[in-house]
Amino acid sequence: MAVRYFLGIDGGGTGCRARLRDEAGRMLGEGKGGPANARLDTARVRQSILDAAGAALRASGLDGEIWQRTHAGFGLAGAGQTGACERLLALPFPFADIAVDTDAYTSWLGASLGNPEQPGDPENDRGAILIVGTGICGFTVLGGERISIGGWGFPVSDDGSGAVTGREAVRQALRAHDGLAPASPLAEAVLADIGPTPEQVVDWADKTTPADYARFAPLVYAHAATGDPLARLIATQAAGFIDDVARRLLTLGAARIHLLGGLAGTVQPWLAADVQQALSPARGDALDGAIALAHASQTGSADNG
Amino acid sequence: MAVRYFLGIDGGGTGCRARLRDEAGRMLGEGKGGPANARLDTARVRQSILDAAGAALRASGLDGEIWQRTHAGFGLAGAGQTGACERLLALPFPFADIAVDTDAYTSWLGASLGNPEQPGDPENDRGAILIVGTGICGFTVLGGERISIGGWGFPVSDDGSGAVTGREAVRQALRAHDGLAPASPLAEAVLADIGPTPEQVVDWADKTTPADYARFAPLVYAHAATGDPLARLIATQAAGFIDDVARRLLTLGAARIHLLGGLAGTVQPWLAADVQQALSPARGDALDGAIALAHASQTGSADNG
């Protein structure tokens, strides 16, 4: 029986990552590529994935001959959109087979299972993930049912996310400029960064992405730590929204919350005591979750390599 | 001395209007054209203005020969953007001369002066305008200084506007779907309109303009009138933001507020008693304000026709 390999992909709007493991779970290499949100142009997403996979392959010292014995799992933001995965998988890939799911699902798999060479039942310990980065999303699987809370995107959802937190800072800075809210060091810092005139903020806001707003979220928490009342207000509101998502996951039956994402460490001290007590470190990351996805899709057909 | 004519243009992101008056202030015709926000492509803005002017001319029964004796005033949304007016006026127009300003300024001129054949000092009665439509903007001129409050655009400003009010309805509908807020008839109506699934809302939100959100503002106020708690909450918050802008204008020295815009009649009953007492009907509209602008630019050179 030929050796098999497992490739995990974690793709989002700003970039994607790849990890290559052998059948025994040994890490062989990792790599990075460009944006791979499944809603983007499929040719671009494919190229980003192949770039990241190629980098992981080079890091492993192996050659492309292994791809035909490699089972790939893709966890991609945007994969929930109707038809997005079908369009992507209609393009040619060199792998033996591919399993695709959302990045929320692979993040949850990774957080629940850890290194996936011996995948068990990921529902066993009823973990839920709460990702707080540019966006925010609560996710778990309970009784075989997937549950997503929040995370429907900016600007109609994502309260508590970096993007909404940063946008609140910009909004309050404009209110302070207009005399509708008190001046504060945070408001001044935001206007100095973007403006200083409101007209410059208008021009800036014309071209912003959620990530542009999210850039100000760490500034909010930094000013909140020094006691700036406006920053404390925004941070407290954001933490309240995050608490809401966490408590909803717990109410629905989750036993623990794995707090993930670029702002996880920043927001954690602001969360309520009952939410803090439910937090638990993730066992693995989204790349290991993607590898677990590839393993799971092989169950019952492990000798076809 | 040849007869002179005055053309007023009121241009925004969804369309523009034109009004033609003679020197004595008699209304000769009106017309409509396409979008004429000064931030849009200048060739398109020019064409929209010429279309509206041409329609007004046809309504008047006069012919294009009068344009060379016509003094035009353009009140354009986006005219405050650096370079926008210069780029537009670099294109050829058939009028004797053109004065351009923001639609806020011409709306304020119109509200303060009314039919502009005998323009006085528009600052005389210290009026301020508060436009509540897709966006929101408070504006006045006091002691020769222009004052704008709010209205820096969606999504970083415009609290109390139709766009923000509608977005709040969508946001709360998603929260209700996730179990983060109680269900309500408004939330159900919004999801039924856009969705019904959150995934469909995500797809919809990808392509929305502020006007798409503003479409839900009347629905919010209609449900609020029937006692829907969520709708009442959103309407009360929106009215509070509008009150803030009105009070700020009064604090700065305005003596009366002219409430304008597509949602003026809808939001008025929700405003606070002190704000209601400061409201006063506008004397004229933005088209007459644009004509007043053209008149003002002729002062001291009235015999050059």
Which residue, among B145, B148, B149, B152, would best test binding to A if mutated, counting the most A CBs under 10 Å from its CB? B152
Confidence bin at B302 (pLDDT 50/70/90):
very low
The ipTM, to two decimals, is: 0.83
Tell me how close the Cα of B216 comes to any Cα of chain A, in angstroms.
13
Calpha distance B120→B110 (Å, rounded)? 12
Residues in chain A within 8 Å Cβ distance of B244: 180
Give the Cα separation of B19 and B287 in Å (integer).
6
Tokens linked to A61: 């010292």
Q: What's the pLDDT score for residue A305?
A: 33
Which among B105, B163, B154, B96 is positioned nearest to B134, based on CA atoms?
Answer: B163
Portion of chain A with pLDDT greater than 70, in percent: 96
Contact between A174 and B155 using a beta-carbon 8 Å cutoff: no
Q: How far apart are CA B135 and CA B77, in angstroms?
A: 11
Q: What does the pLDDT read at residue B301?
A: 42
Around A257, how many Cα atoms within 13 Å sit in the side-chain half-sphere?
29
Q: Is B43 on the interface with A (CB under 8 A)?
A: no
Sequence ranges of the domains in chain A: 5-115+284-298, 162-278
Interval A125-150: pLDDT, tens: 899 999 999 889 999 999 899 999 98
Pairing of strands A145-149, A256-260: unpaired
Rounded to whole angstroms, how far apart are CA atoms B285 and B205? 33
pLDDT mean over B114-137: 82
Cβ neighbours of residue B265 under 8 Å, at least 6 residues apart?
none
Q: State what percent of residues in chain B have pLDDT above 70.
A: 96
> How high is the pLDDT of residue B117?
60
Q: Which residue of A has its CA nearest to B170?
A: A156
The stretch A32-52 carries a mean pLDDT of 94
Phi, psi (5° rounding) for residue B279?
A: -75, 150
Looking at this protein, which amino acid is placed at residue B4?
A: R
Residues A93 and A215: their CA atoms lie apart, in Å, by 35
| CB-CB neighbors (< 8 A) of B180 in chain A | 149-150, 244-245, 248
Cβ distance A199 to B81 less than 8 Å, yes or no, reads: yes
- Identity of the residue in B180, B201, B252 whose CB atom sits nearest the CB atom of A156: B201
> Rounded to whole angstroms, how far apart are CA atoms A205 and A207?
5
Nearest CA in chain A to B201: A152
Residues of B in contact with A251 (CB under 8 A): 179
Contacts of A150 in chain B (CB under 8 A): 178, 180
CB atoms within 10 A of CB B292: 29
| Residue B283: φ, ψ to 5° | -80, -30
- Is the pLDDT score of A275 beyond 50? yes
A211-225: pLDDT as tens digits: 899 999 999 999 999
Where do the H-state alpha helices sit in chain B?
42-60, 84-89, 103-113, 162-177, 185-194, 198-206, 210-214, 217-225, 229-251, 264-267, 273-278, 286-298
Mean pLDDT estimate for chain A:
92
> What is the pLDDT confidence band of residue A169, given thresholds at 50, 70 and 90?
very high
- Inter-chain touch A205–B153, beta carbons under 8 Å: yes
What pLDDT is recorded for position B1? 54
pLDDT greater than 80 at residue B119:
no
> In angstroms, rounded to a whole number, what is the distance separating the alpha carbons of residues B114 and B281?
11
* Cβ <8 Å between A244 and B180: yes
Q: Is the pLDDT of residue A303 over 50?
A: no
Locate the chain B residue with the closest alpha carbon to A166. B156
Domain A162-278 CATH assignment equals 3.40.50.11890: no
Report d(CA B68, CA B254) in Å as an integer. 39
In 3D, which of B284, B288, B292, B291 has the Cα closest to residue B127? B284
Nearest CA in chain A to B82: A199
B160: region left, alpha or beta (phi > 0 left; psi from -120 to 50 alpha): left
Q: What integer best gives the mean pLDDT of chain B?
A: 92
pLDDT tens, B6-40?
999 999 888 999 999 999 999 999 999 999 999 88
Flag if B156 and A252 touch (Cβ within 8 Å). Answer: no
CB contact B170 to A (< 8 Å): yes
Categorize the per-residue pLDDT at B183 as very low, low, confident or very high, splitting at 50, 70 and 90: very high
The minimum CA-CA distance between B198 and chain A, rounded to whole Å, is 7
Separation CA B125–CA B142 (nearest Å): 10
Residue B224 confidence (pLDDT) above 50: yes
User: CB A80 to CB B199 under 8 A?
Assistant: yes
pLDDT computed for residue A302 by the predictor: 36
Domains B5-115+284-298 and B162-278 share a fold: yes
Q: Do A174 and B152 touch (CB under 8 A)?
A: yes
Give φ, ψ of B159 to 5 degrees. -55, 135
CA distance B59 to B51: 12
- pLDDT on residue A299: 72
Q: Stretch B117-139: mean pLDDT, rounded?
A: 85
Q: Do B174 and A180 touch (CB under 8 A)?
A: no
| Residues of B with Cβ-Cβ distance to A214 under 8 angstroms | none
Predicted confidence (pLDDT) at residue A204 exceeds the cutoff of 70: yes
Interchain CB contact of B215 with A (< 8 Å): no
Q: Crossing angle of helices B185-194/B229-251, nearest 10°?
A: 90
Check CB contact of B144 with chain A, cutoff 8 Å: no
State the sign of the Cα–Cα–Cα–Cα dihedral B67, B73, B75, B81: positive
Question: In this complex, do A155 and B205 lie within 8 Å of one another by their Cβ atoms?
Answer: yes
On whether any CB of chain B is under 8 Å from the CB of A182, the answer is: no
User: Tokens 């009106």 belong to which residue?
Assistant: B30
Cβ–Cβ gap A205/B170 under 8 Å = no
Record: fold of A5-115+284-298? Nucleotidyltransferase; domain 5 (3.30.420)
Angle (CA) A180 A184 A186, round 5°: 115
Nearest-neighbour CA in chain B from A205: distance (Å) = 7
Give chain A's length: 305
Cβ(A8)–Cβ(A289) below 8 Å: yes
Q: Smallest Cα–Cα separation from A260: which of A5, A10, A1, A9?
A: A10
* A114-118, A202-206, A278-282, B201-205: least confident range: A114-118
Cβ pair B152:A179 closer than 8 A: no
pLDDT of residue A224: 97
Omega of the bond prior to A116 within 30 degrees of 0, cis? no
Find the closest chain A residue to B245 by CA distance.
Answer: A180
Looking at residue B300, its pLDDT comes to 44
Interface of B with A in 226-265 (CB under 8 A): 244-245, 248, 251-252
Q: What distance in Å separates residue A249's CA from the closest CA in chain B?
A: 10
DSSP-derived 3-state class of residue B37 = coil
Do B156 and A201 count as a contact with CB atoms less than 8 A apart? yes
A1: pLDDT confidence band, cut at 50, 70 and 90? low
For A248, the closest of B152, B159, B179 (CB atoms) is B179
Of B170, B178, B248, the CB nearest to A178: B248
Tokens of B287: 């088209």
Question: Cβ A180–B156 below 8 Å, yes or no?
Answer: no
Pairing relationship of beta strands A70-76 and A5-11 according to DSSP bridges = parallel
What is the spatial distance between Cα B17 and Cα A20, in angstroms, rounded to a whole number? 63
| Contact partners, residue A270, CB within 8 Å, separation at least 6 | A221, A224, A235, A236, A238, A239, A242
* Chain A CA closest to residue B244: A180
- Which residue in chain B is spatially nearest to A197 when comparing CA positions? B152
In A, minimum Cα distance to B177 occurs at A149
Which residues contact residue B273 at a Cβ distance below 8 angstroms, ignoring those fewer than 6 apart?
none
